[in-house]
Amino acid sequence: MRYLRALSKFLLPSLIGLTLIIAGQSLPARADGVITDLTSDKVPIEWNFTGANIFLFGAIEGEIRPDNKPDVIVVVKGPEKPLIARKKERIAGVWVNTNPKKVTKVPLYYSVASSRPLRDIAPASLLDGLGIGFEALVGQLTTRFNVDDTKAAERYAEAVVRLMEHDGLYKTGTAGVKIVGDRLFQVNISLEANVPSGAFTADVFLFRGGKLIGRRATELTILKSGFERLVFEFAFDYPFFYGVIAVILALIAGFAATALFRKD
């Protein structure tokens, strides 16, 4: 069984690639677009989860000209939730968090991979309008902060992006998309151990000559499984009883530790 699993992991990308080649060649040459698929559209998170790698494969439809080859950008975005950002200030010689500001929606995961540097693929105005890149993300978050001062909101947004990038939840890479031949491409979606659970979207953009000529979105779900999922659902469905049980377990652990280390 172990050898069969290893063999399936080796053969699956090749089979998907072959399927995409056949599908791409069977479409009319006039159609500009892209077709995609994932090696797995569901990632279970268990107690021993240390991260995962998912490959997204695609095929480019339409005419391929040697003098004007297309470019591919892949944006993977995770679930959006409200967050509170705080500013660190030094008061009486101590660093403390002050001025909490709420941002209505923040993607808990955001990664960008492209076949070339973004600015070489399309103008900044087009990328910003499509929400591609950290600069575009900062602009979006700036409008979501409950702050009257635009400059202050922008600083908060930049801090959020910087901290999420430090935690490995925001990523960008200019060589992330590998184009094989004229039509096939692939990208490795690397998920860290701290990746949030929820619904994700892998957005594939196809450009040629600085213009968007195709786009396709693929859904990806990351979900807790096993005992972790039961605890997670119980905590959110019955928060009061979850809190009571947590207090009781803490008291039991405290009494047990006291009895264990008590000196007669």
Q: Which two tokens mark 19?
A: 């399927």
Give the pLDDT band (50/70/90) at residue 223. confident
Half-sphere exposure of 246 (CA within 13 A, CB side): 9
Res 160 pLDDT > 70: yes
Q: What is the pLDDT of residues 28-45, one digit of tens each?
A: 333 458 888 888 888 887
Is the Cα dihedral 176, 177, 180, 185 positive or negative? positive
Q: What is the pLDDT of residues 136-148, one digit of tens each?
A: 999 999 988 887 8
Give the pLDDT band (50/70/90) at residue 27. very low
State the burial class of residue 24 (Cβ atoms within 10 Å of its Cβ: 0-12, 13-18, 19+). buried
Domains of the chain: 2-225 (2.60.40.3880), 227-264 (no CATH)
Give the pLDDT band (50/70/90) at residue 5. very low
Q: Which two tokens mark 209?
A: 């000559």
Tokens 């264990």: give the residue: 260
